Every structure is written in C-alpha cells, then in structure tokens.
Chain A
Amino acid sequence: MMIEIATSVLLLLGAFLMLLSGIGIIRMPDLLTRMHATSKAGALGIGLMACGYMVFYSADTSLVVRALAMVVFVLVTAPIAAHVLARAGYFVGIELWEGTIKDVIKERYDLKTRRLGSAPKRRDDEDTY
C-alpha cells in the first residue's frame, strides 16, 4: 500500500513536470527562455518517474540499479546538452525576446573567435549597474 502511494506521487509529479515543460516550450517567447523550461522539467521529470519505477520494483535489485544509473546519467548530461544547444543557438544568431533588458555577454563575446573576453572598460559618465 505504501509502495503504491509513493509510486503514484512520484509518477504524478514527474508527469506534471513534463506537462509544465510542454507548456513552457509553447508559451515562452524565445529560445533561451524556452530552454529554461525544457531542460529543467525534462531532467527532473525523467528523474522523478525513474524514482517511481525504483519504488515500484524495489524488490528486484538489478532493476533498481539500472533505474538509478539512468537517473544519474540524465542528471549529469541534461545541463551539458542544454548548455551546448544554447551556446550553438547564440552563435548562430537567434533573436532574443524584445523584452530582454540586458544581454551581458554581447559586448564580451568575440563572435569571430568565439572567446569570452573581460568586461569592456567602464566609461566615466556611465552609471554602475
């Protein structure tokens, strides 16, 4: 009985996070905000659903270990995939949302060599931000 309740809660939470990532990918205005929704909800959704699987089949150790390996793998690789995709999108030159207040790396990135430099020198008449 306890196993059923724990499995239900974990599965529902995971599926709800996946639904949130679906809503985010269709409602958010530009690529970076969309990735903010998708990477987080994708990793956490898969992680929680695999945790539900672990609780449900907790009698069999080999299944638990395989599900645990999947959770660890997803949690390690999801940020890497999101970072790589966002970096590629930024270099390709996607348009940012018009409500973006500040693009900090715009003046620091050399788009030719793709290296991140230090901040440009502050002018005297410029306010601190």
Chain B
Amino acid sequence: MLEISITISFIFLSIGLVMATIRLLRGPTLPDRVVALEVIASMTVGFIVLYSISYGVPALIDVALVLALTSFLTAVAFARYLERGAQLNDD
C-alpha cells in the first residue's frame, strides 16, 4: 500500500520536474525562467520528503527546510534584480 503510493508519487514528481525543466529551457523571457526555477526547487523539496519517508531517513527534513528557505530568498533576489532593469530577453 505505502510502497505503491510512494512509487506513484515519485512518478508524478518526476513528470512534473521534466515539464518544469522544459519551461526553464524554452521560457521566452527571464521571469518565466525564474518561475520555473522556483517550481523546480519546490519539487525538489517534495522529492526530499518522499525519499526520507521511503528510505527511513527522518533527518532529511532539515535539508528540505533549508531548501524551502533558500528558494524563497532566491525568488526575492531575482525579483529585485528584475526590477532594477534586467534584460528581458537573453537571446
């Protein structure tokens, strides 16, 4: 029961990660890429939580906590960089 649902959750997260990576590579403007990076960070937090349940390593929640914190700081820093006049298209 739990093993099957953990496997399905891993599959869901992997598909979502692939889609976010496609948007990161394609994304026409810089803000799109920033949003895709934030989604990738939150999916990585989900991966860490899943891993710590399925392999019985409960201490990994600290890693997830710190990653969630840094992803928020990244979003704020990128927003300030954008507001101070970044180039919208890098191609």
Contact = CB atoms under 8 A, between A and B. Distances in A.
Given A12-B8, A19-B12, A70-B68, A4 B22 contact: no
Contacts of A42: 38-39, 42-43
Interface string A26-52: 100001001100100011011001101
Contacts of A12: 5, 8-9, 12
Contact of A8 (B1, B30, B71, B86): B1
Interface of A: 4-5, 7-9, 11-12, 14-16, 18-19, 21-23, 25-26, 31, 34-35, 38, 42-43, 45-46, 49-50, 52-53, 56-57, 60, 63, 66-67, 69-70, 73-74, 77-78, 80-81, 84-85, 87-89, 91-94
14 contacts: A8-B2, A9-B5, A11-B6, A11-B50, A18-B43, A22-B16, A25-B19, A31-B31, A46-B68, A49-B45, A67-B61, A80-B76, A81-B71, A92-B31
Contacts of A84: 75-76, 79
The B interface, classified by DSSP as helix, strand, loop or mixed, is helix
Contact of B88 (A5, A69, A93): A93
